Amino acid sequence: MDQNLLKLFPPELQETIESLYDVILERALFRAYQNLDEEKKALMTEIFALENDKAKENFLKEYFKDLNDLIIEETKKILEEVKK
């Protein structure tokens, strides 16, 4: 999560906001991952095992073009879950 954005929240909420963001991102990535073929899943596993943020970013841009949409959908789902 962008650290500048996180600073907009009171210190006592920053950890919670960051954790929530991580959950949303994890759920969106999982959904996107499920849509990959086996070859791309293996490639993703290789890339994400590396300490190369640029390679990870390039993979996401190339194969997860709808990631922002999935993040929005997962955010809405969590909001609905919280309302219940």
And the tokens for 62? 């190339």
Per-residue pLDDT reduced to its tens digit, 4-58 = 777 788 888 888 888 999 999 999 999 999 999 999 999 999 999 999 999 999 9
How confident is the model over 78-82, as a mean pLDDT? Answer: 91
Q: What is the pLDDT, as a whole number, of residue 4? A: 73
CA–CA distances in Å: residue 1 to residues 5, 18, 25, 34: 8, 7, 10, 23
Q: What is the pLDDT, as a whole number, of residue 54? A: 96
Q: What is the pLDDT, as a whole number, of residue 1? A: 60
- Provide the residue ranges of all domains of the chain, joining segments of one domain with +: 14-83
Predicted confidence band at 2 (pLDDT cuts at 50, 70, 90)?
A: low
